[in-house]
Amino acid sequence: MTKLRAGILGATGAVGQKFVELLEGHPWFEITDLAASDRSAGSQYSEAVNWIGSAPIPDVIASMEVASLNTDLSCDFVFSGLPASLADRAEPRLASEGYPVISNAKSFRMHRDVPLLIPEVNPDHIALINNQNWGRGGYIVTNPNCSTVGLTCALKPLNDAFGLEAVQVTTMQALSGAGHPGVPSLDALANVVPFIGGEEDKLVHEPNKLLGRLVNGAIQAEGIAISAQCNRVPVLEGHLECVSVKLGSRANSDEVREAFESFVSPIRDLELPSEPDRFLRVFEDERFPQPRRHSELGGGMTVSIGRIRPCEVLDHKFVVLSHNTIRGAAGGAILNAELLLKKGLLQPRKG
Ligand code: NAP
C-alpha cells in the first residue's frame, strides 16, 4: 500500500522525538514534514534537535529541514506534539485547512465533539468526528494525558465487569513527562516534587469521558468520583500509579484479577501495527511492575498491573505502570491514526 504522509508538529520536543523514533519503518505512514518553533525552523533536524533517544536519529530524518508552524505542509495529516498554548490556535487552523490533526495537547481533549481516544477503550468514540465542522474535511482527535492513559486502561475492565463508584490515585511520574529540558536537575535529582501543574484535574475528568457511552452522537460521561495526587519522581520513562477503587458490585481479588486478564481488546481483529500482543499484563510477583524493568513491554504499549489486593478504605488496590512518551503520547497517537485509517478516516489529502 502507498504510505500516507505524516507531519509532526513540535518535532524537536520529547514527544516529537518519540514520533520520529516510532515512525521509522512504519508500514502505513512516512514522515514528510517536521515543524517546530522559529528557533528551529530553517535548520536541519539534526542541528535543531537536542536528541535524547538512545538510537541515532534516522538518516532520512536527520537531514530534513524543519519548517515553522505557518509553512504549507505537504502531508496528508499531522501528529501534534505542540504545547497547549500553541495547539489552541494551530490545531483548529490546520483542521480548517483540511488536515486531520492527531494531537497530544490538552487543548481539545474535553471538547464535546472531539474524540478523546484510547483504541482499546473507546474506539466507537471516533463517531464524534462526524459532528466536527472545521471545513474542508479536517478534524481533531486527541489522546489523553499520559497519566490518564495508564489509569483508564486499568479502569476499563473493572468498569465493564463491576461498575466503578470511586477511584483514588497517587502517581509517580517520570521526568520525560515534563518535556525537554523539563524539570531542572537541582529540583529533580534525589528528590520528589509533589506538584504537577494541571495534572490532577485531568486525571479527575478525562477517565470519565473515556469510559463514557456514545448515545445519539454525544458522549454521556461516567460519573466516577476520582481523587488524584500527582508527583514528579526521578525516573526517566514510565508513570507508576497507586490506585484504590470502590466497585459498583462486590468482587474478590481473584475476580478483579480475572477481569484484567480476560479483557478482550475491541480492536483485536483490526491488526493495527502498533497494537501490542498484550494490552494488559498482570504481574504476580509483588515487586512488579517497575518503570526501569517494565515500561518498554510491548514496545512501550503494554500497560502493566500488579499488587492487586484488598483495600482497607475502598474495595481493592493495585499499581499500574505505563510508558508516558509511548503509550501515553506518541505511540498512543500513532495507534489512534492506525485506527482512523482502518476506519476509512485517513486518506491522501487532495489539493
Ligand atoms: P517539549 O519537549 O517542550 O516540546 C515542545 C515542542 O513544541 C518543541 O518541538 C518546540 O520546538 C515546539 N514549540 C515550542 N514553541 C513553539 C512555537 N512558538 N511554534 C512552533 N513550535 C513550538 O514538550 P513535550 O513533552 O514534547 O510535549 C508536547 C505536547 O505533548 C504538550 O502539549 C504536552 O502536554 C503533551 N504531552 C506530553 C507527554 C510527555 O510525556 N512528555 C505526554 C502526553 C502529552 P523548539 O524545539 O523549536 O522550541
**DSSP 8-state class, residue 108:** T
Round the average pLDDT of the chain to a whole number and report it.
97
pLDDT at 334 over 90: yes
Ligand 1 pocket residue status of 182, Cβ below 6 Å: no
81 C-alpha vs ligand 1 centroid, how far in Å?
5
Ligand 1 centroid distance, CA of 13 (Å): 5
Torsion of CA 288, 290, 296, 298, to 10 degrees: 20
* 16: its cell numbers: 516529537
From CA 26, how far away is CA 334, in angstroms rounded?
Answer: 10
pLDDT(226) > 70: yes
Question: In angstroms, rounded to a whole number, what is the distance separating the alpha carbons of residues 81 and 88?
Answer: 12
In the sheet where 164-173 sits, what is the strand order?
A: 225-232, 164-173, 239-247, 316-322, 303-310, 280-282
Measured CA to CA, the distance from residue 232 to residue 239 in angstroms comes to: 9
* pLDDT reported for residue 351: 63
Q: Which atom of ligand 1 is nearest to the CA of 181?
A: 2
SS3 300: helix
For 123-132, the CB contacts below 8 A with 24+ separation are 123/266, 123/267, 123/339, 124/214, 125/210, 125/214, 125/219, 126/339, 126/340, 126/343, 126/345, 127/214, 127/217, 128/214, 128/217, 128/218, 128/219, 129/345, 130/217, 131/217, 131/218, 132/95
Q: Give every CB contact of residue 17 below 8 A, 6+ residues apart in sequence.
A: 11, 49, 51, 52, 53, 180
- For 68, 150, 162, 251, 315, the CA distances from 248, given in Å and listed in that order, are 50, 21, 6, 9, 10
Sign of the four-CA dihedral 308, 327, 82, 129: negative
Question: Measured from the CA of 179, which atom of ligand 1 is nearest?
Answer: 25
The predicted structure's pLDDT at residue 279: 98
Q: What is the spatial distance between Cα 295 and Cα 193, in angstroms, rounded to a whole number?
A: 21
Q: Are 50 and 69 in contact (CB under 8 A)?
A: no
Which residues does residue 193 pair with via DSSP β-bridges, in sequence order?
A: 232
pLDDT tens-digit map of 79-108: 999 999 999 999 999 999 999 999 999 999
- Residue pair 33/61 in contact by the 8 Å Cβ criterion: no
pLDDT confidence of residue 186: 97
* Residue, of 181 and 290, whose pLDDT is higher: 290
Instruction: Give the pLDDT of residue 350.
Output: 77
Atom of ligand 1 nearest to the CA of 177: 40
pLDDT over 90 percentage in the chain: 96
104 lines ligand 1 (CB under 6 A): yes
Average pLDDT score over residue span 305-334: 98
| pLDDT, average across residues 20-27 | 98
Residue 264 — pLDDT band, cuts 50, 70, 90? very high
Is the predicted pLDDT of residue 114 greater than 70, yes or no? yes
The whole-angstrom separation of Cα 222 and Cα 219 is 9
66: Cβ below 6 Å to ligand 1? no
Which grid coordinates are listed for 256? 478483579
Selection from 272, 271, 334, 279 nearest residue 301 by Cα: 279
Residue 207, pLDDT score: 98
- Whether pTM > 0.95 for this model: the answer is yes
Distance CA 92, CA 167 (A): 34
- The pLDDT value recorded for residue 42 is 97
Q: Residue 146 catalytic?
A: yes
Instruction: Reply yes or no on whether 230 is catalytic.
Output: no
> Which strands, in side-by-side order, build the sheet including 67-68?
67-68, 29-36, 4-9, 77-80, 100-103, 139-142
- C-beta of residue 151 within 8 angstroms of C-beta of residue 210: no
Ligand 1 site-directed mutation target among 45, 51, 66, 104, most atoms within 8 Å of CB: 104
Determine if ligand 1 sits within 6 Å of the CB of residue 15. yes
Residue 95's contacts (CB-CB under 8 Å, 6 or more residues apart) are 101, 132, 134, 135, 138, 139, 140
Give the pLDDT score at 58: 97
Per-residue pLDDT band at 136 (split at 50, 70, 90): confident
Nearest to 93 by CA among 80, 110, 106, 111: 80
* Percent of the chain's residues with pLDDT above 70: 100
Dump pLDDT digits (tens) for 50-60. Answer: 999 989 999 99
Residue 213 has a pLDDT of: 98
**Residue 82 C-alpha to ligand 1 middle, in angstroms?**
4
pLDDT tens per residue, range 240-262: 999 999 999 999 999 999 999 99
324 Cα: distance to centroid of ligand 1 (angstroms): 14
User: From the alpha carbon of 69, which atom of ligand 1 is closest?
Assistant: 20
The amino acid that residue 68 corresponds to is: S
Average pLDDT of the segment spanning 264-275: 97
